Amino acid sequence: MNKPACFVAQVDLSLAFKLEEDLKNQGFEVSKPQYTLFQAKKKGISCTLYESGKLTVQGKDKDDFISFYLEPEILGSLTYSYPDVNQDKTPHIGVDEAGKGDVFGPLCIGAVFADEEGISELSKLGVRDSKRMTDPTILKLAEQIRKKFSYALVKIFPQKYNELYDKFHNLNSLLGWGHATAIEDVLKKSPCQKVTIDKFASEHVVASALQRKGIEVELTQRHKGEEDIVVAAASIIARAAFVEGIEKLSEEFQLQLPKGASPAVIQAGRQFVAKHGRALLPRIAKMHFKTLEEIQAIH
């Protein structure tokens, strides 16, 4: 799990002597810079306790020190090791998508169900917003989530995506249908009526899509939805599917397809057209992107 470079906490000053003695016993070298009660250092960890009671911990080995000593012995809190304490522990389904802003590759929508025990497990696995993780980490986490949790995945490759976009005439309507389909699929495995999604449009978009399917749930739509750990798990499922999908297309057409909508996408698109022709672009690209105009305007 990606932790901040510097951990900061407030320490009860009545525990300062115990903390200092414990650190000495753990092999820390202790000094007393100005405005501090003490500073303790050993290889990989540096701790500074200020006169105000503020404690800072830095260094590459700080995580185990915080988890196995500082939190249980001094702080009496596990919010660093298991930051799910502020999470909604009510059993619910989380939904999120990936690939919406990418010219190449599939649109993927994931849905995950977790109960109270599952939410704690997600936290221990290190689940958080997929946008804050590298793709290799996402792929590993997605594998664990798929093994341990009820989930659903709607993966729409560009050829099908373009057909659906022509049908819906609107990306949000397509997304609403995709979210409703993922919710419908996971409800078959885990009948839970509480659903949280990352809000991407007016609230009626997903609500109407669910209504058309005859699905009644308690739907919460929130900005920064990935702050909910179950939504974050869904974002990981979706992102992993997108990464695997764009790699599959890259292998199929023997051309590395970049993510996003950057100038590198235009360059790759032009290489694709030169190699395979414009007619095959809908196999790899979401054709409503304006980037496609630049890709195709080459001859």
Contact 106, 238 (CB under 8 A): no
pLDDT, position 3: 64
- Tell me which of 40-49, 84-93, 214-223, 277-286 is least confident: 84-93
Same domain? For 180 and 267 the reply is no
Q: Which residues pair with 155 in a beta bridge?
A: 108
pLDDT, position 112: 97
83 domain residue, yes or no: no
* pLDDT value at 1 more than 50: no
Annotated binding site: 96-97, 198
- Whichever domain contains 115, its CATH number is 3.30.420.10
Same domain? For 103 and 223 the reply is yes
* pLDDT value at 265 more than 70: yes
pLDDT, position 129: 74
Helical ranges in the chain per DSSP H? 16-25, 62-65, 116-125, 135-148, 158-168, 171-189, 204-212, 229-252, 263-276, 281-284, 291-296
CA dihedral 223→225→228→229, nearest 10 degrees, is -160
pLDDT, position 299: 46
Same domain? For 258 and 225 the reply is no
- For 170-212, how does the pLDDT look when each residue is reduced to its tens digit (9 = 90+)? 999 999 999 999 999 999 998 899 999 988 888 899 999 999 9
- For 216-229, how does the pLDDT look when each residue is reduced to its tens digit (9 = 90+)? 999 999 888 888 99
- For 147-159, how does the pLDDT look when each residue is reduced to its tens digit (9 = 90+)? 999 999 999 999 9
Q: Is the pTM of this model over 0.85?
A: no
Tell me how many degrees the CA angle 262-294-250 measures, rounded to the nearest 5. 55
Percentage of the chain exceeding pLDDT 70? 95
Burial of 288 (0-12, 13-18, 19+ CB in 10 A): middle
Half-sphere exposure of 11 (CA within 13 A, CB side): 30
Return d(Cα 56, Cα 10) in angstroms, integer: 9
pLDDT, position 4: 73
Percentage of the chain exceeding pLDDT 90? 70
- For 80-138, how does the pLDDT look when each residue is reduced to its tens digit (9 = 90+)? 765 555 567 899 999 999 999 999 999 999 999 999 999 988 888 878 777 767 888 89
Same domain? For 99 and 15 the reply is no
Q: In which residue are the tokens 């990989």 written?
A: 44
Return d(Cα 228, Cα 235) in angstroms, integer: 11
Same domain? For 230 and 119 the reply is yes
23 domain residue, yes or no: yes
Annotated binding site for a divalent metal cation: 96-97, 198
* Confidence tier at 76 by pLDDT (50, 70, 90): confident
Q: What integer is the mean pLDDT of 245-265? A: 94
Q: What integer is the mean pLDDT of 241-260? A: 96
Contact 243, 99 (CB under 8 A): no
CB atoms within 10 A of CB 214: 7
How many separate domains does the chain show? 3
Contact 174, 165 (CB under 8 A): yes
Mean of all residue pLDDT scores within the chain = 90
Give the torsion sign (CA, 57, 75, 116, 176).
negative
Same domain? For 155 and 202 the reply is yes
Range of the domain at 178: 92-248
